[in-house]
Amino acid sequence: MEIVLTKSDFLDYRHCAKSLWLKKRKPDAIQWPAPSLFDRMLMQDGYRVEEEVKKLVTGWGDGSSCEFQVDFQCPPNLYARADMVRHVGDDEIDLFEIKGSTSLRSSTGQDHVDDAAFQTMVAERAGLRVRRICVIHVNKEYVRQGAVDPEQLLAIVDVTEDARGRLPQIEAEVDDAIEFLAQDAIDENGCSCRLIGSRDKHCASFQYFNADVPESSIYLLPRISRKKLETFLEEGRLSLADIDASEVTNLQAAVLRAAQSGSPVINRASIATFLGELEWPIYFYDYETFASAIPVADGLRPQGQMPVQYSLHRLTQEMELSHTEYLSLGPGMQRQLVEGLRRDIGDTGSLVSWNKKFEMACNSAIGEMFPDLAEFLEELNRRTVDLMDVFKEDYVDATFLGSTSIKKVLPVLCPDLKYDEDAVHDGAGAMAAWLSLIETADEAERERIAGELRAYCHLDTLAMVEIYRFLSRIAQG
């Protein structure tokens, strides 16, 4: 059975070799996750950057020698598709990787020089000579004013020397991957992800290869180090029931106690202090944002997160609850969004968010765009408190799965409040949905998407209200 290795396959191999083997050899063994709306949006983002590159090369003296989406195949095992090549002679090319990120690394840490080196290796094994290796990414300092200027938007980085230096290692890894995938059978007990502490970074087939990991496992311990994982794994102690409090950090200790006791760890006095410091009325607010490689409006930078929507619940000391919201129906409406906040938020009262660094960073970014609004936005930041902080040490439940995300906390504390899995139900999906909203000409579709976005953002702030009420009952004993 011949297995073709692509660049994406190679990256998957580096992450977890056994997971890639399973995908190639036993594709029906598990249900593999389908690309999300957000994944597809990122792909479209890359295509838009490529269109700007096409505009750029028309101004090059040798622009006619550039070709996009060029396939290389080294029978029977290797396949690559270069974003762009420039033909400079018989069987000689310059190779370009085109990326929507603002540096030589993506936001997820993917190294674009490695990408370019892989493409170079396949091209050269296919019989071509690669003269120069370049990565084209977007310039994070570019600010759109009017029509997009490809020369200012795009940064071209010659990575030839760096990529050439990495080639021997990559070639060795690729040959190892091909040999590994050629095996008809492998040891299916455990995979390399056992040494990754973050559950979110485990491969899709983690449960398949690690059936011995119990539900209440060491992977619930937040920020567990690789060294500590190695120790527990070598000693066969995968269950939290086998871990002593002296072996974990203070942050992990609360999760450990909650798991071993089977009940939440609650510091009522600390919760009461936190709630008692809030000023009435209390505003619960949440932003949904959009970012793209090609700024969608004047004043925006590549990949700059900008709010396009907010939901705001206002709770008075008499427990009267009201709600206001704003949804941008087109790009470049940040000023209107802030003006809505100025109407909806009074001069006194605490602002409650979940992971306040995000909302505060958004406020600061808008303040840079509109200096006349900066004072108001700085005041919002001064008044903002983080409800998530309570769940780091003062209310810890093992059923949060080691997380302080509202998506993990809400189902445990307020099970009657649920996100609709068949509609917009997370931030990444909201970003993709908003892009569809501003691009579609179908009015019925726009109304449908707008309805989903409003419902999702509304639930985010209502969730904070209900969690606040839950904590208030806890604090009162």
Tens of pLDDT, residues 156-191 = 999 999 999 999 999 999 999 999 999 999 999 999
Distance of alpha carbon 323 from the chain centroid: 29
pLDDT tens-digit series, residues 330-362 = 999 999 999 999 999 999 999 999 999 999 999
477 pLDDT more than 80? no
Local structure of 233: helix, strand or coil: helix
- Look over the chain and give the mean of its residue pLDDT values, rounded to a whole number: 95
384 pLDDT more than 70? yes
Please enumerate, as own/partner, the contacts of 139-144 that have beta carbons within 8 Å and a separation of 24 or more.
Answer: 139/102, 139/302, 140/102, 140/103, 140/301, 140/302, 140/303, 141/301, 142/295, 142/301, 142/302, 143/295, 143/299, 143/300, 143/301, 144/295, 144/297, 144/298, 144/299, 144/300, 144/301
Q: How far apart are CA 210 and CA 24, in angstroms?
A: 19
* Confidence band, pLDDT 50/70/90 cuts, at residue 117: very high
Q: How far apart are CA 103 and CA 138, in angstroms?
A: 7
- Please answer whether residues 82 and 38 qualify as being in contact, where contact means their C-beta atoms are separated by less than 8 angstroms: no
Q: What is the mean pLDDT of residues 448-469?
A: 97
Q: How far apart are CA 152 and CA 366, in angstroms?
A: 22
* Confidence band, pLDDT 50/70/90 cuts, at residue 454: very high
Task: Report the pLDDT value the prediction gives residue 75, as an integer from 0 to 100.
Answer: 83
pTM of the model: 0.91
Strand-pair category, 154-158 with 384-386: unpaired
Q: Which of 240, 90, 83, 97 is nearest to 156 (CA)?
A: 97
Task: Report the pLDDT value the prediction gives residue 76, as an integer from 0 to 100.
Answer: 82
41 pLDDT more than 90? no
Cβ burial of 62 (10 Å; 0-12, 13-18, 19+) is exposed
Percent of the chain with pLDDT over 90: 93
Task: Report the pLDDT value the prediction gives residue 1, as an integer from 0 to 100.
Answer: 63
Q: Which of 307, 333, 340 is nearest to 453 (CA)?
A: 307
Going by the DSSP 8-state scheme, the letter that residue 217 receives in this structure is: B
Local structure of 125: helix, strand or coil: helix
* Confidence band, pLDDT 50/70/90 cuts, at residue 35: confident
Question: At residue 238, what are phi and psi to the nearest 5 degrees?
Answer: -95, -20
Q: How far apart are CA 330 and CA 307, in angstroms?
A: 12
Q: What is the mean pLDDT of residues 86-98?
A: 96
